[in-house]
Amino acid sequence: MRKAVVLLSGGIDSSTALAIADDMGYEIHALTILYGQRHEREVESAKKVASAFNVEEHRIMKLPEGLFSASALTYDEDVPVDGDLERYGIPSTYVPARNLVFLSIAVSWAEAMDADAVFIGVTSVDYSGYPDCRGEFIEAFREASALATRRGVEGNPVEILTPLIDLSKGDIIRRGIELGLDYSLTWSCYKGGERACGRCDSCRYRLKGFRDAGIDDPLEYEDDADGTVHK
């Protein structure tokens, strides 16, 4: 059985990527990387998703504090979580070179256990504004990682698979539901409260995705004092 490392944050995209890897018949070694992000609640979601798909192994790896900095998502409490979905440029939630680091770690693990592939749930549609989610980054990373590894030298590099790259958020959700993924297990909100805030970029992308898919998001969202539900 072919093995794959699946980068799993517990959000919609990575959970759907895992469902697709499962559907493709891979033995799944899920990898959740903690780096001081505020939404540790995502980790609980990652565990539930991994468990729902009976993965072979779910490795939760805590990176040293301060490995990532200068982002609203990490230990830097001073950088605010940006709520402006429409803003041009790169959001404050950008973590410098995060996917470069995550993919490098995943490839190292894949090579060590002789896995054939690494899955990452990046999408270039409904694009987050993070440079390291773009297809052109992934393409360059494939080249670099093939040259960095024994398997690449032997002509059989670890594949970097991005099954969501051309899917909209709505398409992703429809695909996950076809594959039996229960999205009530996933978590997207950057704020990590009891209920999702409905206002941060990540909630807004998620809600737009469910609207586009014509499906009701099974998560609960915060109400405002005036009774507005942000959903």
Residues 129 and 90 sit within 8 Å (Cβ to Cβ): yes
Question: What's the rounded Cα separation, in Å, for the pair 34 and 108?
Answer: 17
Residues that bind a second copy (rule: CB under 8 A) add up to a total of 43
Q: Which is nearer to a second copy, 69 or 168 (CB)?
A: 69
Q: What's the CA gap between 169 and 164, in Å, rounded?
A: 9
Residue with Cβ nearer a second copy (67 or 165): 67
Tokens of 139: 């393409």
Q: Is 70 in the site for a second copy (CB under 8 A)?
A: yes
Q: Kindly compute the dihedral angle of the four CA atoms of residues 27, 101, 203, 53, in this order, to the nearest 10 degrees.
A: 10
d(CA 41, CA 37) in angstroms, rounded, equals: 10
User: Applying CB under 8 A, does 69 fall inside the site for a second copy?
Assistant: yes
Q: Which residue lies nearer to a second copy by CB, 140 or 229?
A: 140
The yes or no reply on residue 98 touching a second copy (CB under 8 A) is: yes
Q: Is 180 in the site for a second copy (CB under 8 A)?
A: no
* Contact between 94 and a second copy per CB under 8 A: yes
Separation CA 101–CA 107 (nearest Å) = 10
Which residues lie near a second copy (CB under 8 A)? 61-64, 66-71, 90, 94-101, 104-105, 107-109, 111-113, 131-132, 134, 136-137, 140-141, 143-145, 147-150, 152-153
